[in-house]
Amino acid sequence: MKNRLILASASPRRVDLLKQVGIEPDAIIPADINEAPLKAEIPRDLAVRLALEKARAIALDHKESFILAADTVVGCGRRILDKAEDEAYARKCLTLMSGRRHRVYGGIALITPSGEAKTRLVETVVTFKRLTPREIDSYIENGEWKGKAGGYAIQGIAASYIKFISGSHSNVVGLSLYDTIQILNGVGFKQG
């Protein structure tokens, strides 16, 4: 029998990533939660907490389904780099990451129909080349940064700025496919 899977996300990138590995959610229901970090919360903890809160919020009304949720947090040291909503913040993020290493934390949460919650933290290390002011200006002008954690999208022009990556590439896009499949297989989820 087919299991019902709900993706608790508004991210079209996560939908595309799941399709890439043959998983088509039965429903996509974004969770409306407060995503503000708690006082002194570090990036890795925030990613897992938000993923779990998203999954729990949707599971309340869909107890018969598997609920998959994820959250991506970019961290530079202990600093959390939020989604860039304006040019000034995107420029600040790019300037901060220029020529240095940062980490992309992917929190993944799955709630089963029996109410069991599974979480996983995925960490990817990314190093940007030293960006010139002209490169930053050009990236800001193209608008690819809008709504992206840390002010960049690895699946676009910013890929040309990445000097080094260690860990899951799909995690930086929005969802580690390897880890997602491992969690789903671990709870006996059957697609199709």
| Catalytic pick among 71, 86, 137, 179 | 71
* 127 token code pair: 């190093």
| Polymer length in residues for the chain | 192
71 annotated active-site: yes
The SS3 of residue 146 is coil
DSSP single-letter state for residue 26 = S
Query: What is the C-alpha to C-alpha distance for residues 190 and 64, in angstroms, rounded to an integer?
Result: 14
Query: What is the C-alpha to C-alpha distance for residues 189 and 179, in angstroms, rounded to an integer?
Result: 14
Query: What is the C-alpha to C-alpha distance for residues 174 and 165, in angstroms, rounded to an integer?
Result: 15
110 beta partners: 68, 118
Which residues are marked as active site? Answer: 71
